[in-house]
A = this chain, B = another copy of it.
């Protein structure tokens, strides 16, 4: 920790981390190229040379400059990921699983948290694509044509997650949010409900679920007594508030679909406070299957989605393509979702 004090003292006390591949090469008595091979393709170097070079690397504390390597090889070993938030456990799990998988394959993830409105998406994409990532994961739809054009021009594998609606750029892992809403409506109908309500966050996917729910309710001849939209991202507080807005309509039994488990938890809690019997008088269904829903008392009925599985699949898709394989039809998959029935319906 102190032998470095005897640095090549070429002037003022300024120590640029100086160890580069040529330093290692000199120390090991080989060519720089050989050092490079020891690091990247060890099987093409003789054991003795490898040993010498390794020793020099350790001795000097050499950390290869991946920027220089990336420029030269035109491979950055970087993947960019864009998600609207990581505050939501679903996305947190997805990002975590995705970056674990990518890291195991030797890639690093640059994460961009875009928020729910993608204004200025072009400058975000420019900043990301400027790093020349080898691949890209993006969440859902709603990007400007110019931004999408940039993605296409980048000529790298792209996987879109979370939404199957719009025309996909390349690979896709998602589901039809309207269909989720419709299936929840059907489910609640079979439980004997006729009066329905919706609590939805102000975000395009949540609103798609709301639309699917509304349409199905209408189709089934049910009554939608309230459709309450609240600011994204969903919070427990919004759920409690939404529940209070619903109170005036609870003269008769009702079933409410919340666009996220956060909202549902808030609604269940507020119902308990207000003394509304759940599920007898009010049925509540959430979306996302957070631990919170499973382990609350009462446990909350919800739609289960597997954020972690999506992250892993997204990584697998990209890695396949990074390994040189071509496009195929199976690269557009529907994430299965299912309604998990618990005590609130």
A-to-B contact residues, CB < 8 Å? 1, 3-4, 7, 13-17, 61, 63-68, 70-71, 74, 76, 85-87, 89, 92-93, 95-96, 99-100, 103, 108-113, 126-132, 149-150, 152-155, 167-168, 235-237, 240, 266, 269-270, 272-273, 291-292, 295-297, 326-327, 332
Q: Cβ of A86 and Cβ of B76 under 8 Å apart?
A: no
- Measured between beta carbons, the chain B residues less than 8 angstroms from A108 are 110, 112, 127-128, 131
Contact of A92 among B61, B63, B86, B132 (CB under 8 A): B86
Q: Please, which residue of chain B has its CB at the minimum distance from the CB of A19?
A: B153
Q: Cβ of B236 and Cβ of A61 under 8 Å apart?
A: no
Q: Cβ of A149 and Cβ of B237 under 8 Å apart?
A: no
Minimum Cβ distance to chain B for residue A221 (Å): 32
Knowing A87-B96, A93-B87, the reply to whether A66 touches B130 (Cβ < 8 A) is: yes
Minimum Cβ distance to chain B for residue A80 (Å): 9
Q: Cβ of B130 and Cβ of A63 under 8 Å apart?
A: yes
Knowing A113-B99, A295-B236, the reply to whether A7 touches B87 (Cβ < 8 A) is: no
- Measured between beta carbons, the chain B residues less than 8 angstroms from A237 are 291, 295
How many chain copies does the complex carry? 2
- Measured between beta carbons, the chain B residues less than 8 angstroms from A129 are 63
- Measured between beta carbons, the chain B residues less than 8 angstroms from A326 are 13
Q: Cβ of A168 and Cβ of B99 under 8 Å apart?
A: no
Q: Cβ of B291 and Cβ of A167 under 8 Å apart?
A: no
Q: Cβ of A155 and Cβ of B269 under 8 Å apart?
A: no
Q: Cβ of A240 and Cβ of B149 under 8 Å apart?
A: no
Minimum Cβ distance to chain B for residue A306 (Å): 15
CA distance A76 to B153 in the complex (A): 23
Q: Cβ of A327 and Cβ of B7 under 8 Å apart?
A: yes
Q: Cβ of B109 and Cβ of A110 under 8 Å apart?
A: yes
CA distance A25 to B242 in the complex (A): 57
CA distance A76 to B105 in the complex (A): 23
Q: Cβ of B86 and Cβ of A4 under 8 Å apart?
A: no
Minimum Cβ distance to chain B for residue A97 (Å): 10
CA distance A131 to B71 in the complex (A): 12
Q: Cβ of A291 and Cβ of B96 under 8 Å apart?
A: no
Minimum Cβ distance to chain B for residue A171 (Å): 11
CA distance A256 to B89 in the complex (A): 27
CA distance A150 to B61 in the complex (A): 8
Cβ-closest 6 pairs across A and B = A66-B130, A236-B295, A111-B111, A86-B92, A87-B92, A269-B297
Contact of A86 among B96, B296, B332 (CB under 8 A): B96
6 contacting pairs across A/B (C-beta < 8 A):
A1-B332, A7-B327, A61-B153, A99-B111, A108-B112, A110-B110
- Measured between beta carbons, the chain B residues less than 8 angstroms from A14 are 155
Minimum Cβ distance to chain B for residue A74 (Å): 8
CA distance A152 to B63 in the complex (A): 13
Contact of A240 among B93, B103, B295 (CB under 8 A): B295
